[in-house]
Amino acid sequence: MSRVRVLIYAAAPEDDTDGVTEAYHRISAELSGTPGLLGNELMQSLGESRSFVVMSEWADLDAFRKWETGPDHRGTTSPLRPYQDASRGSPFGLYQVVANY
């Protein structure tokens, strides 16, 4: 199986511009050492400063699904939930790496 990347779309409200960043750091600290999690990044749009994407990389889909369906998933990720941006239809996306250089 190949690596999987999970993208979480987030938007910071005008009255809480640091909330996404603070939630990201809190969650990342809790996820440290999670089996199958290779790392994650918080990216901020250059065009819209209140728009963010969290990208996590997993060893494979099985590792991600095991964590996603485990008992800690919802509690660990809850700080970011108020900032989810569903304007794309879904606040997240799952992508499989099919090629890289």
The reported pLDDT for the residue numbered 17 is 84
pTM above 0.95, yes or no: no
DSSP H helices, 8-101, are 19-31, 61-68, 73-77
Q: Which residues face 39 on adjacent strands?
A: 57
Q: What is the CATH code for 4-96?
A: 3.30.70.100
Question: How sure is the predictor about 1, in pLDDT bands with cuts at 50, 70 and 90?
Answer: low
Say if strands 4-11 and 92-96 run parallel, antiparallel, or are unpaired.
antiparallel
Three-state SS at 97: coil
Q: Residue 42: its pLDDT value, please?
A: 97
Residue 11 has pLDDT above 90, yes or no: yes
pLDDT tens for residues 39-94?
999 999 999 999 999 999 999 999 999 999 999 898 999 999 999 998 888 999 99
